[in-house]
Amino acid sequence: MESLHIVVAGAGNTGSHLLPHLARITTITRITLVDPDSYEESGNNLEGQNIDRIDLGRPKVEVQAEKLHRIRPDLGVVSLQACIEDVPRGLLSSNLFAGCLDSKRARQHLNEIAWRLNVPWIDLGVLGSQNLARVSTYLPSPDSPCLECSWDPGPHGDYAVLEQEYICGAGARDYPSMASSALGALAASLAAIEIAKFSRSALPGDFGGRHVLVNAEHHTMHVTTECRSQWCRFDHRTWQIERWVCPVASTTLGDALRALGCLRVEGHRFVRGLVCPGCGRRDDALRMNRPLTKCPVCNRRMTPTDFGYLDHLDPANTADSSCLTLSNIGFRAGDIVSSYGRHRVIQEAA
Ligand SMILES: [Zn+2]
Ligand SMILES: [Zn+2]
């Protein structure tokens, strides 16, 4: 490939080490950085991540964008300070995702987005307590293995662990990876080599379904290839995505429903009301339930007032809200709207 656009999700233990390598791969011309957090003195950030003391207290994406520009001033960098699941999916359309994430839930989101957008992805993982570094590659198609194909559905398996993990925006961030800087750098080096190989190959058909595991504790390396599991819970669907020119600030819900019939945004639902658990402020308008909808007064994450979720909007369930604009409801440019099996990415202008 001549010029590669990579989305890097996560700028912590593995991501902070991966990014400088990516800036030095000349076929990469654009990097989109996604991470909701700032570097902190607590939580092992200085010991485990490729940062300096002056970076503490600053958003990770901002710090890393500056470091990338110091290495390659001509590199195109877009910084999105958000959880991966909260970014409008159209903004993630690219040649490759690098998942530098520390939660199973976030990895599951990235896997789903990769399949929907038909973007190959590489997952980096470390286990500090056992000195394990792992890189796994995935190439979306209905018949190729995905992240969840190897997940254990049992009562103590991967899906059970998901329930215990933090959900982005819920405020519980007490699961820092205690991996060393060296281990994060090892996973990042393995990934950067795979990414360089990917960028050189015209037809990266053998990219997907491979796990490379380095056990630095016992000096062994395992490479396994995987098949698509017939018991996988993920549907493995990929989308054809059309463009939809729709200025969200001036298009009403009524206009949009007359054009498309119904509206869904995968990964999100709609709610009739939100309440702040801190100050009790209520917001009773129709809203997309973005995970980061925060109280304008005390900045806490608002929660739905009841279980009246709508998974789609149509003229029958929104008759009282047809005059709201799409941006009032929470739609943004780059959101992918699904209706009757068709998928359209919202564009502000033609
Ligand atoms: Zn699968
Ligand atoms: Zn509040």
How many residues are present in the chain?
350
Answer yes or no: is pLDDT of 100 > 60: yes
- Per-residue pLDDT, 67: 98
How far is the centre of ligand 1, averaged over its atoms, from the C-alpha of 141 (Å)? Answer: 10
Contact call for residues 80 and 34 (beta carbons, < 8 A): yes
3-state class (DSSP) for residue 85: helix
- Per-residue pLDDT, 210: 92
Instruction: For residues 328 and 291, give the distance between their C-alpha atoms in angstroms, rounded to a whole number.
Output: 16
- Per-residue pLDDT, 338: 97
Instruction: For residues 189 and 101, give the distance between their C-alpha atoms in angstroms, rounded to a whole number.
Output: 16
Same domain? For 194 and 302 the reply is: no
Residue 19, in any domain of the structure: yes
Of 225, 255, 278, the one marking the end of a domain is: 225
3-state class (DSSP) for residue 179: coil
Q: How confident is the model at residue 89 (pLDDT cuts 50, 70, 90)?
A: very high
How many of the other CB atoms lie within 10 Å of CB of 88? 18
Answer yes or no: is pLDDT of 294 > 50: yes
Residue 165, in any domain of the structure: yes
State the virtual CA torsion across 6, 7, 10, 12 in degrees, nearest 10.
20
Residue 234, in any domain of the structure: no
Ligand nearest to the CA of residue 153, numbered in listed order = 1
Q: Residue 271: CB partners within 8 Å, gap ≥ 6?
A: 286, 287, 289, 304, 305, 308, 309, 310
Same domain? For 219 and 295 the reply is: no
Same domain? For 247 and 211 the reply is: no
CATH code of the domain covering residue 110: 3.40.50.720
Residue 232, in any domain of the structure: no
Question: Domain limits at 18?
Answer: 4-225
Of 158, 192, 225, the one marking the end of a domain is: 225
Same domain? For 48 and 128 the reply is: yes
pLDDT in tens, 130-143: 999 999 999 999 99
How far is the centre of ligand 1, averaged over its atoms, from the C-alpha of 27 (Å)? Answer: 30
Q: What is the helix (H) or strand (E) element at residue 161, kind and residue range?
A: helix 158-164
Radius of gyration of the chain (CA): 21
Report helix angle 15-23 to 60-71, nearest 10: 30
Ligand nearest to the CA of residue 236, numbered in listed order = 1
How far is the centre of ligand 2, averaged over its atoms, from the C-alpha of 282 (Å)? Answer: 9
Q: How confident is the model at residue 177 (pLDDT cuts 50, 70, 90)?
A: low
Q: How many domains does the chain have?
A: 2
Tokens of 44: 């092992």
Same domain? For 306 and 163 the reply is: no
Instruction: For residues 57 and 80, give the distance between their C-alpha atoms in angstroms, rounded to a whole number.
Output: 17
Of 162, 192, 225, the one marking the end of a domain is: 225
Is the backbone of residue 43 left (phi > 0), alpha (psi -120 to 50) or beta?
left
Distance of CA 122 to the CA centre of its chain: 12
Ligand nearest to the CA of residue 232, numbered in listed order = 1
Tokens of 252: 């009403």
pLDDT in tens, 297-326: 998 888 887 767 899 999 998 888 999 999
Residue 120, in any domain of the structure: yes
Same domain? For 191 and 138 the reply is: yes
Residue 320, in any domain of the structure: yes
Instruction: For residues 216 and 131, give the distance between their C-alpha atoms in angstroms, rounded to a whole number.
Output: 5
Same domain? For 71 and 164 the reply is: yes
Residue 29, in any domain of the structure: yes
Instruction: For residues 201 and 197, give the distance between their C-alpha atoms in angstroms, rounded to a whole number.
Output: 6
How far is the centre of ligand 1, averaged over its atoms, from the C-alpha of 245 (Å)? Answer: 33
Answer yes or no: is pLDDT of 82 > 80: yes
Residue 126, in any domain of the structure: yes
Contact call for residues 243 and 345 (beta carbons, < 8 A): yes
Same domain? For 148 and 26 the reply is: yes
Same domain? For 211 and 247 the reply is: no
Same domain? For 202 and 295 the reply is: no
User: What is the reported pTM?
Assistant: 0.91
Instruction: Give phi and psi for 349, each to the nearest 5.
Output: -145, 155
Same domain? For 159 and 286 the reply is: no
Same domain? For 220 and 256 the reply is: no
Answer yes or no: is pLDDT of 345 > 90: yes
Contact call for residues 261 and 280 (beta carbons, < 8 A): no
Lowest mean pLDDT among 52-56, 67-71, 296-300: 296-300
